């Protein structure tokens, strides 16, 4: 249970790092989709290709995650910003 909460938090951080909130059809906003980015956000490991792909996929949801008080502190972390930059996705301005 505790691990899934950490994965959600890490996912939210990654989402914030991706950038703007472009509209994309068929995207389900679910911060757990960003779990492949957990290791990169919580350590100095570089993000994987899967992480970057998921960040880009969840881009339309990023501002929603940033506005969520439960996810905000994780999404705004320095490591989350580094992951977004490494993945080539600017941090969103919501």
pLDDT per residue as tens digits for the range 44-58: 899 999 999 999 999
Q: Is the pLDDT of residue 76 over 70?
A: yes
For the chain, the average pLDDT equals 77
CATH of the domain spanning 2-86: 1.10.110.10
d(CA 43, CA 65): 21
d(CA 77, CA 48): 18
Which of helix, strand or coil describes residue 24?
Answer: coil
**Residue 1: its pLDDT value, please?**
46
Where in the chain are the domains? 2-86
Angstrom distance (rounded) from CA 52 to CA 68: 22
pTM: 0.69
Query: What does the block give as tokens for 87?
Result: 């993945």
């Amino acid at each position: 249970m505790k691990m899934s909460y950490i994965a959600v938090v890490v996912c939210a951080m990654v989402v914030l790092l991706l950038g703007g909130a472009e509209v994309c059809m068929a995207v389900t906003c679910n911060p757990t989709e960003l779990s492949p980015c957990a290791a990169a956000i919580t350590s100095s490991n570089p993000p994987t290709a899967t992480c970057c792909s998921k960040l880009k996929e969840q881009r339309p949801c990023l501002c929603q995650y940033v506005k969520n008080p439960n996810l905000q502190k994780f999404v705004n972390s320095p490591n989350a910003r580094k992951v977004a930059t490494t993945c080539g996705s600017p941090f969103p301005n919501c």
